[in-house]
Structures are given as structure tokens and as C-alpha cells.
A = this chain, B = another copy of it.
């Protein structure tokens, strides 16, 4: 049976209170007593029960981290950033995967709340749940940070990457290389996709290029490995249609990998015959042949920023503190998958 503070007290011949003072080191204790207690602690192999402590202190040194999926290279990098910051502060975290199912997401968040976490970081929340005001309510209950989620008019704390200017930079870059027939590939329902699509459409209007609806390609899956195959199929289909694009702008790197594979399969060379861009700068974009031009989001920094903001909220203790929106700049990473289209020099 695990030793309790009472066992230690008995063995050391002091009161429970004294033991508590020694292990927390928060009140004066004579060095003789201290030694006795420390001795008993190590002989009984005692470790305090953090449930009991949390119950009384209303503080658990535990946070919740919610991600859409852990089996892709983007979210783990963010999670790692979070851990880097939180671990030295004594926090441990619950990780929970929603797999982009709305019901799951709410259920998991509620489950985390029951566990008396000190705060929560939600990465890529469902658009719908966000709009419904769910996280505004959560924000009222505990410190909450939303990463890369729908934020228009939503009263929450956010850490966002400037995806709009990121995708815009890609479009400008391709445009500067004389690309005009650019396809756009997105996944289903997520704020990021909506955002990027809007920038894409606006860009075409701004440049007075007629928009070919066939060039907006949506695949079922989101930002994960499954996207590769789906993107591959979708792009193959698009390339079979009239006026094949000279460039494909993808909402994430997995899709870009799929696009390259589709081109390959049809005997088209990237970037000679068709250019491809990704987003996120996950490792695969660098390992791919050709290396993929993409937008770096500083995934690790996103995690760190979110964690720091959360710590601030937790330690500030001011429930009325003004909400913050931290926006991180993106960076275009030019690599080998982009070229000026033929006959356009």
C-alpha cells in the first residue's frame, strides 16, 4: 500500500502538519525535525498524493491539450513546443485527439474540465464548435488558449499564424513568375481552409484573372497522412480536365506531396511541367523530391507561444484580463517545386 502523509508522521513521531511543512518547505521547521521527517519519507518511499493536494488548493499543475490528430507531423511539433515550456514549470498534460469529430471534441474538453485542469490549449478546433460559442463559455471557466482557430468576433485568447499573408505570399510569388492558371487545394471544414480560399479568390479578383471553378479542389480529409492519397487522386482528376493548371497551391504539405505524386504518375515533371506549393513546412516537404516550396509556420514556436500565454493566464489569476490575440508571422520557404511556366518568359 502506498504510504500517506499520516504514515510518515507516525514514523517520524511528528504531526501531519509538520510533515506537510517539510515536503512543501513553506514554513520554518527545526533542522532536527526536518531530518527525522526526511528520513521517514525516504524510508517509506513516500510521494504526496496530488489529488488530495489539488482538491484543497484548487490547482493541479495539469493542463489539457486538444489536437485534431497526433499522427501527422504538424501537431506533434506544436505539442512538443508546449511541453518544452510547461515541463520546467512542473506541469503535466493530458493529450486528447478529436480526429476532427465535433461530438468528440466537446466531450473530451468536458472530460478534461472534470479533471480539474488548470488550463487548456485547443489546437485547430472545429469551426462549428467555435462559432457556436462553446469555447467562449470554456474561457469563462478556466484559462483557455485557442491555436489557429476561427476567431472572427470570438471572445477567446488566440495564438494564430498569419495564414492569410502566408498564402498571399505564395500567390504573389507564383504570380510574379507569370503563373495565371493556379489550382487551389483545400480540405473540408476548418477555419484555415476557408481563410485561405478567401485569399485565393480575392487575389484573382484583385488581379482581374477570371476564376476557373475547376481549379478549387476540395478533398475530404484534412491535415494528415491520408491527405496524400486523396490529393493525388483529386489532382489526377483535375489534370485530366481542360486547361490544366501550371501551378497547384496546396493548403498543407501532405497535399503538396500528393500533388507531386499525381504529376509524376502522369509523366509530368515538377517543377518543369507543373509547380506545386505546400504549407506548414513539415519535414516531409524537405525530404520530398523535389523539395517542396512551402510556408513555414514555426510550429514549435506556436506551441511555445500558446504555452507561455496560458501560463500568463493561469498565474495572472485575473479572470477579467483583456483577451489576447497573438499573431505569428509566416515565412515563405523557396525550394525546388516551383518554376516559371513554359513560354511565358
Q: Which residues of A contact B (CB under 8 A)?
A: 2, 47-52, 54-55, 60, 62, 69-73, 76-77, 79-80, 83, 87, 92-97, 108, 110-116, 141, 225, 228, 257, 283-284, 287-289
Q: Which residue, A62, A87, A112, has most C-beta atoms of chain B within 10 A?
A: A87
User: Which of A48, A52, A110: most chain B Cβ within 10 A?
Assistant: A52
Instruction: Give Cα A287–Cα B257 distance, bound, in whole angstroms.
Output: 8
A94 and B97 in contact (CB under 8 A), knowing A55-B52, A70-B76? no
The docked-state distance in angstroms from the alpha carbon of A248 to that of B73 is 26
A50 and B284 within 8 A (CB) = no
Residues in chain B near residue A114, CB distance under 8 A? 47-50
Rounded to whole angstroms, the CA-CA distance of A71 and B79 in the bound complex is 9
Complex formed: what's the CA distance from A76 to B72 in Å? 8
Q: Output the nearest chain B residue to A79 by Cβ-Cβ distance.
A: B70
- Would A94 and B92 count as touching, CB distance under 8 A? yes
Give Cα A105–Cα B337 distance, bound, in whole angstroms.
41
Contacts of A110 in B (CB 8 A): 47
Residue numbers in B under 8 Å from A79 (CB-CB) = 70, 95
A71: contacting residue among B55, B76, B95, B115, CB under 8 A: B76
A-B CB contact pairs (8 Å), 19 listed: A49-B114, A49-B116, A50-B114, A51-B60, A51-B115, A55-B55, A71-B73, A71-B80, A79-B95, A87-B96, A92-B94, A92-B111, A92-B115, A93-B94, A95-B95, A228-B283, A228-B287, A284-B284, A287-B287
